Amino acid sequence: DVKVTQSSRYLVKRTGEKVFLECVQDMDHENMFWYRQDPGLGLRLIYFSYDVKMKEKGDIPEGYSVSREKKERFSLILESASTNQTSMYLCASQEATNYGYTFGSGTRLTVV
């Protein structure tokens, strides 16, 4: 069975900290994505990557960066965490365009 694994289920960080959210997929998928989900706002795309070392901005990239050094791993970085980045973060992978996504279980990040 295919799997997308997010390194932490819950995280609490302080304002100004640098935060790394890790995502690993074991399906050799080309595309990977980071979303955040907030009540009333649905899922919003932060960044995505369609190849190693490639990245594209999504709808809300401000305050975030990403890294994809290996095909199976896609990291989301909050350079200086702020309270408005408190959210559920969801990673997904996709075999290729127009295939379904496989999502991880999510990381609930609280910035205090």
Q: From residue 39 to residue 78, what is the string marking binding to another protein with x (rule CB under 8 A)?
A: ---xxxx--x-x---x-x-x--------------------
Least distance between another protein and beta carbon 16 (Å): 28
Asked whether position 1 contacts another protein by CB under 8 A, the answer is no
Least distance between another protein and beta carbon 83 (Å): 21
Instruction: Give me the phi and psi of 70, to 5 degrees please.
Output: -130, 155
Cβ atoms of 7 and 23 closer than 8 Å: yes
Q: Measured between alpha carbons, how far is 44 from 51 in angstroms, rounded to an integer? A: 21
Asked whether position 87 contacts another protein by CB under 8 A, the answer is no
Asked whether position 84 contacts another protein by CB under 8 A, the answer is no
> Where are the extended beta strands (E) located within the chain?
4-6, 10-13, 19-21, 23-25, 31-38, 42-49, 56-57, 64-70, 73-78, 87-94, 101-103, 107-111
Least distance between another protein and beta carbon 25 (Å): 12
Taking CB under 8 A as the criterion, the residue among 32, 66, 81, 92 binding another protein is: 92
Q: Measured between alpha carbons, how far is 39 from 21 in angstroms, rounded to an integer? A: 20
Give the residues lining the site for another protein (CB under 8 A). 4, 31, 33, 35, 42-45, 48, 50, 54, 56, 58, 90, 92, 97-106, 108
